[in-house]
Amino acid sequence: DIQMAQSPSTLSASVGDRVTITCRASHTVSPWLAWYHQKPGKAPKLLIYKATTLQSGVPSRFSGSGSGTEFTLTISALQPDDFGTYYCQHYKSYPYNFGLGTKLEIK
């Protein structure tokens, strides 16, 4: 199985900050990597797929990069609505594991 590790596990940042979240896979998964955002009490929302492709309707301040085993989600200028937990997920092969999440708090 391919395991996904995210860092940091928690993050506190201010509105307007540039924020970076990292996801590392135990084996290469490129480019089959997605990012999701989940607010408390809500279902996750797809942000990025195929490592770098922005899902339709997602603000352009979100971007994805990386290849092989290391990937990054960047929020260029943090907005108040961006709080919550971010998950990466690989879909290289069964089972399609998620990372444990990065909880983003707004200062």
**SS3 label, residue 50:** coil
User: How far is the C-alpha of 84 from the C-alpha of 9, rounded, in Å?
Assistant: 12
Please tell me whether residue 83 binds another protein under the rule CB under 8 A. Answer: no
Which amino acid does the sequence have at 3?
Answer: Q
Contacts of 56 (CB under 8 A, 6+ apart): none
| 44 lies in the site for another protein, by CB under 8 A | yes
| By CB under 8 A, residue 84 contacts another protein | no
Which residue of 64, 71, 78, 97 would you call a contact of another protein, by CB under 8 A? 97
CB of 14 or CB of 56, closer to another protein: 56
Interface with another protein, residue 5, by CB under 8 A: no
Q: Which of 52, 54, 65 is nearest to 21 (CA)?
A: 65
First to last CA, the chain: 37
| Out of 46, 52, 70, 83, the residue judged to bind another protein by CB under 8 A | 46
Which residue ranges make up the site for another protein (CB under 8 A)?
32, 34, 36, 42-46, 49, 55, 87, 89, 91, 94-101
